[in-house]
Amino acid sequence: MARLFVPATSDALYINQAVLTVLPITMAAWFYATNLTARHTIIAIEDKDTGDNRVLRLTANGAVAGDPLQAIHRGSTTFGIASSSSAYTENTWQHAVGVFAAANSRQIYLNGGNSGTDATGVGTITPLNRTIVGAWGFTAGSFTNVMNGYIADISIWNVALTNAEVTILAKGFSPLLVRPQSLVFYIPLIRDNDKDLIGGLSMTMNGSPGIVSHPRVLYPGHN
């Protein structure tokens, strides 16, 4: 089972601390968007307090031309956005990876390929103080660009994963099998268990995220 997010009820899962605040950072997830017209936030590490939108964010962006998957990095004033070379597809499970290698280097992958890069210098990312799944917001209690659809297997590493490692994830292998020594946050989102399997963090629920069928993932010990 995975988690269902609905914009009308501002569904989100969050914890008021940043899993990581220093680059490089890689974020990955499976997602299932139900339309090609909205901005669907998959996961973000953000500043919830100062109001200047500092954030690292994975977004399926149906609100811009080409409907790309995007890795968005904003410092205090400047955006750096890497967009996939192909559009995401509605009503099907797909895989997203954003690699934030440095303040002037980010890369996005859709289904293990269709990658795009961006080298805009955006400066420091601190302060970051919230990790959020299914929505984005830059003030406490504020949630926007809510995912309209499903999310599963949220994972964060403290390294920049390679092209080969991204391909492994997109083939359906668990994040536990890819650079496990550098994996710092992993929530499979199976049923309503929203606990991080690596650091033991527990997410707070906003709205009423539902439960839906999980995509096929190969976990350690499976033949």
Give the global pTM.
Answer: 0.95
What DSSP state is assigned to residue 203?
A: P
Query: With pLDDT > 70 as the criterion, what percentage of the chain qualifies?
Result: 96
Q: Point out the least confidently predicted range of 64-73, 133-142, 183-192.
A: 133-142
Residue 86 has which token pair?
């192909």
Of the candidates 117, 118, 110, the one whose C-alpha atom is nearest the C-alpha of residue 86 is 110
pLDDT tens-digit map of 92-139: 999 999 999 999 999 999 999 999 999 999 977 778 999 999 999 756
Of the candidates 118, 74, 128, 96, the one whose C-alpha atom is nearest the C-alpha of residue 26 is 96
Which residues, in sequence order, are CB contacts of 135 under 8 Å at separation 6+?
Answer: 5, 10, 11, 12, 14, 41, 44, 143, 144, 145, 146, 147, 206
DSSP secondary structure string for all residues of 149-163: EEEEEEEEESS---H
Residue 181 has which token pair?
């020594």
Neighbour order of strands in the sheet with 39-46:
79-87, 68-74, 55-61, 39-46, 130-133, 12-15, 204-206
Residue 18 is predicted with a pLDDT of: 95
Q: Which residue carries 């669907």 as its tokens?
A: 40
Q: How far is CA 154 from CA 2, 176, 188, 204, in A?
A: 10, 11, 6, 15
Residue 141 is predicted with a pLDDT of: 63
Q: Measure the CA dihedral 209/215/219/222, to 10°.
A: 140
| Class of residue 86 by CB neighbours under 10 A (exposed 0-12, middle 13-18, buried 19+) | middle
Q: Output 127 or 71, whichever has higher pLDDT.
A: 71
What domains are defined for the chain?
2-212 (2.60.120.200)
